[in-house]
Amino acid sequence: MPEGSGALWRVLGLLGDSPRKCGTGYEARCPAHEDHQASLSIGTGLDGRVLLNCHAGCPVDRVVAALGLSMADLFERSAAGNPVRRFRLLDTSGRTVAVHVREDLPDHEKEIWWESGQGRKHGLNGKAVISLPLYRLPDVLGADMSVPVIVCEGESAADALAGLGLLTVGTVTGADQTPSPDVLAVLRGRLVWLWPDNDDAGRRHMQRIAASLRALGVEVSWVDWEEAPAKGDAADYVAGGGLADGVRALLRPSAPPEHLGRTGDFEIIDMAELQRKVLREPRWAVPSIFPEGVVLLAGKGKLGKSWFAMDVAKAVSSGAKAWGKVRCEQGEVLYLALEDSERRLQDRSDQIFGGPIKPLTFLAAIRWPRADEGGLELVLEWLSTHPNARLVIIDVLAKFRPKRTNSRQLYDQDYEAIAPIAEVARKRGVCILILHHANKLKPDDPVDSVSGTTGLAGAADAVCIFRRERGKVDASLLITGRDVEEQELAFKFTLPDHCGHAWELMGDAVNLRLSSERQDILDVVTAQPGLKRSEIANALGKSSGNVGFLLFRMMHDGQLRYRDSGYFPGLLNTPANAANPLTPEIKNGRFLLATSFQAANALATEPISTDSTDSTVSGSSGVSAPEQPAGSLTNSEGEDGETSPPLEHCSACGGRLFPDEHGLCERCEQAR
């Protein structure tokens, strides 16, 4: 009897004074019928449950009911009242070398740990898990060599098949590891059937075992249960009414069935054939921005990510322009708004759409199972029944991914939270946009701001970092990925000014930052014409040298004029924006976009094309053309015929002089 089997003592106590020791168990009079001799055998299974067998034929549930118990009472319970199962691993001599303990927690959660031998000491005491014997090994050692052995993953699956009278062993390493060749050597000379769990990790686990067995000279067959649910195993087969006779019908010889190798781990591609192969063009939810596959959109909470996603949903479902600029091809949309209520979702859609939504183009759900609880299969089923689907939005990842456990590396859990979703997206040719939170760090690489380990970003096809200073209307989106050009785009929050979209695409963020610097100068000069360079620099809180160089460029572009030792608005500018006076923000040098990435990541790419070829930002010229090299600046002439002063050079250092410097530059003048 395993130490601490409270369930067994409870059963023996309810049987009164009739139980007596018999071999490794007990025998007693059966309470389910009038028993004049001890026809009930009582024992303990390898998993710690109480085993009852009435030799007169009484079903177990009737015996349990006669004792005033339920079937769950046959299992041990923890101090918290949760069912506990202890799976004993026995070596070839029948000695317990380890115990795998599982406690079933509320909400379908579980806690698993190891105990060493009979000492009930947590951990394996230095043993490697790959060196542990197969579960139910004694059954195999005592069976005829001609009886096939089924190898499955885990103790529960092995117990389920053993309950059908099948000879079964279970691996205990978990799917990410493989029993050592010494452990598998006990299967030499036997017929072996491999039963993998119905997921990628389970298939890879059994494929590695098959390779090890073949190296030992063991030929294997595969159990191919095509109707298995996602992650379904042998225990699910038995729970669904499967019988022992039906298992043989599931057998496939030697090579694994096609769908068992669909992960492509062992597929070898002839590159010459690949060169000639005609591949379909990738599909885009938003052209040049959101490709097919998983797009991970990360940003801090309450900064407008859900509004941003709703803009995309509206554009795709109605074939409109995303953020007012980028035309999208129409397709059906599924939006999993897992943090919203119906009222909040209704309010948000009313503001974005501003009118009726075409039926069956935009579907949403506020409750959805987690990915490992059937949620991913439901997404796949929806995609299968909606061939025109183009976009799925998951808002947010934390409500959809499997819950983390303490038994596996965090990186592996994060990677596998995204990888299966990405596989579905790529196979179906759709974009799955996943909203996620960013951490509070300000790393050199913005991708490192994704909350969690790098496994999340590593598994995604594209990563978008959404940044916005709280309380500001402007934001930037850094986009990087396998099939999308790295770029940084600028957005402006437009609600509640008008319906149609919450965020408006303003263009390339790098160019707009430069435009914002020019706009700050124009605002100062417009408010106080005739200021000198040093006075403008003081108003902006910037160095005189940096401001002076930009003043030169703006004069060259006709945005400023220099007259009487001061600067004035150029004739090429539109009238000043009366709502944009010399504010404290301008005096403190704060930019239009309150976002700053490292220069290495701020690549100046071409702006996304829009309907207007002459966009403007706050009254100044819009996304500016690439700047001329400093040495290429020439004299410029305004519309009134006024010519800017000729370019001169410092007689001491040879550097270019600003219009208000003569002979010597400011630095050389101060040095003298």
Q: Count CB atoms within 10 A of the CB of residue 514.
A: 19
Cβ contact 316:331 at 8 Å: yes
The answer to which of 220-229, 446-455, 490-499, 610-619 has the lowest mean pLDDT is 610-619
pLDDT value at position 579?
34
pLDDT, mean of residues 27-35: 91
Instruction: Reply yes or no on whether the pLDDT at 642 is more than 70.
Output: no
Instruction: Reply yes or no on whether the pLDDT at 652 is more than 90.
Output: no
pLDDT value at position 239?
87
Q: Which of 176, 133, 185 is nearest to 155 (CA)?
A: 133
pLDDT, mean of residues 611-640: 35
Integer CA distances (angstroms), 489 to 90, 477, 481, 595, in order: 62, 5, 15, 11
Diameter of the chain by CA atoms?
Answer: 124
Q: Count CB atoms within 10 A of the CB of residue 47.
A: 23
pLDDT, mean of residues 464-487: 86
Confidence of residue 607 (pLDDT cuts 50, 70, 90): very low
Instruction: Reply yes or no on whether the pLDDT at 363 is more than 90.
Output: yes
Instruction: Reply yes or no on whether the pLDDT at 388 is more than 80.
Output: yes
Instruction: Reply yes or no on whether the pLDDT at 598 is more than 60.
Output: no
Residue 161: phi and psi, rounded to 5, are -70, -35
Q: From CA 182, how far away is CA 565, in angstroms rounded?
A: 90
pLDDT tens digits, 241-267? 888 888 878 876 555 544 444 444 456
Residue predicted with more confidence, 134 or 597: 134
pLDDT, mean of residues 114-136: 78
Direct distance between the N- and C-terminal alpha carbons of the chain, in angstroms, rounded to an integer: 98
pLDDT, mean of residues 61-88: 82
Cβ contact 296:462 at 8 Å: yes
Instruction: Reply yes or no on whether the pLDDT at 493 is more than 70.
Output: yes
pLDDT, mean of residues 214-234: 88
- Residues contacting residue 57 through CB under 8 Å, at least 6 positions apart: none
Tell me, rounded to whole angstroms, the distance of Cα 266 from its chain centroid: 25
Confidence of residue 45 (pLDDT cuts 50, 70, 90): confident
pLDDT tens digits, 369-379? 998 888 888 89
Q: What DSSP string describes 481-540? A: ESSS--EEEEEEE-TTT-SS-SEEEEEEHHHHHHHHHHHHHHHHHHHSTTB-HHHHHHHH
Report the share of the chain in percent with pLDDT over 70.
78
- Residues contacting residue 54 through CB under 8 Å, at least 6 positions apart: 30, 32, 33, 39, 40, 41, 60, 63
Confidence of residue 470 (pLDDT cuts 50, 70, 90): low
Which spans in 193-241 are helix H? 200-215, 234-239
Q: Count CB atoms within 10 A of the CB of residue 29.
A: 18
Burial (CB < 10 A; 0-12, 13-18, 19+), residue 373, is middle
Instruction: Reply yes or no on whether the pLDDT at 497 is more than 50.
Output: yes
Integer CA distances (angstroms), 57 to 26, 53, 314, 580, in order: 18, 8, 65, 91
Strand extents, DSSP E, 261-407: 284-286, 290-291, 293-299, 321-322, 326-327, 332-337, 362-365, 389-395
Q: From CA 425, how far away is CA 431, in angstroms rounded?
A: 6
Q: Which two tokens stand for residue 562?
A: 């220099």
Instruction: Reply yes or no on whether the pLDDT at 208 is more than 60.
Output: yes
Confidence of residue 573 (pLDDT cuts 50, 70, 90): very low
The answer to which of 85-94, 137-146, 460-469 has the lowest mean pLDDT is 85-94
Domains of the chain: 1-77 (no CATH), 137-261 (3.40.1360.10), 284-501 (3.40.50.300), 511-637 (1.10.10.10)
Confidence of residue 132 (pLDDT cuts 50, 70, 90): very high
Mean pLDDT, all residues of the chain: 79
pLDDT value at position 574?
37
The answer to which of 61-65, 392-396, 558-562, 629-633 has the lowest mean pLDDT is 629-633
Q: Which of 570, 569, 562, 568 is nearest to 658 (CA)?
A: 562
Q: Which of 110, 101, 131, 73 is nearest to 3 (CA)?
A: 101
pLDDT tens digits, 141-183? 989 998 999 999 999 899 889 888 899 999 999 888 889 999 9
pLDDT value at position 480?
94
Q: From CA 672, how far away is CA 649, in angstroms rounded?
A: 17
Report the share of the chain in percent with pLDDT over 90.
34
Instruction: Reply yes or no on whether the pLDDT at 595 is more than 70.
Output: no
- Geometric angle at alpha carbon 109, from 104 and 115, rounded to 5°: 50
pLDDT tens digits, 408-427? 788 989 999 999 999 999 98
pLDDT value at position 659?
56
Q: Which of 235, 211, 234, 210 is nearest to 221 (CA)?
A: 210
Instruction: Reply yes or no on whether the pLDDT at 649 is more than 80.
Output: no
pLDDT value at position 292?
95
Confidence of residue 285 (pLDDT cuts 50, 70, 90): very high
Instruction: Reply yes or no on whether the pLDDT at 476 is more than 50.
Output: yes
Q: Which two tokens stand for residue 604?
A: 């100046």
pLDDT tens digits, 92-123? 888 888 888 888 787 767 788 888 755 555 67
Q: Which of 306, 284, 310 is nearest to 295 (CA)?
A: 284
Residue predicted with more confidence, 442 or 392: 392
Tell me, rounded to whole angstroms, the distance of Cα 82 from its chain centroid: 31
Burial (CB < 10 A; 0-12, 13-18, 19+), residue 25, is middle
Residue predicted with more confidence, 406 or 499: 406
DSSP secondary structure code for residue 652 in this structure:
T
pLDDT value at position 457?
93
Q: At what angle do helices 544-556 and 533-540 cross, to 10 degrees?
A: 110
N residues, the chain: 672
- Residues contacting residue 588 through CB under 8 Å, at least 6 positions apart: 541
Q: From CA 513, how far away is CA 75, in angstroms rounded?
A: 66
Cβ contact 257:228 at 8 Å: no
DSSP secondary structure code for residue 643 in this structure:
B
pLDDT value at position 397?
96
Q: Count CB atoms within 10 A of the CB of residue 551.
A: 24
pLDDT, mean of residues 488-511: 84
Cβ contact 502:304 at 8 Å: yes
Q: From CA 63, how far away is CA 72, in angstroms rounded?
A: 13
Cβ contact 335:393 at 8 Å: yes
Confidence of residue 620 (pLDDT cuts 50, 70, 90): very low
User: Could you give the strand order of the β-sheet that contains 251-252, starting from the edge strand earlier in sequence?
Assistant: 168-171, 149-153, 192-195, 220-223, 251-252
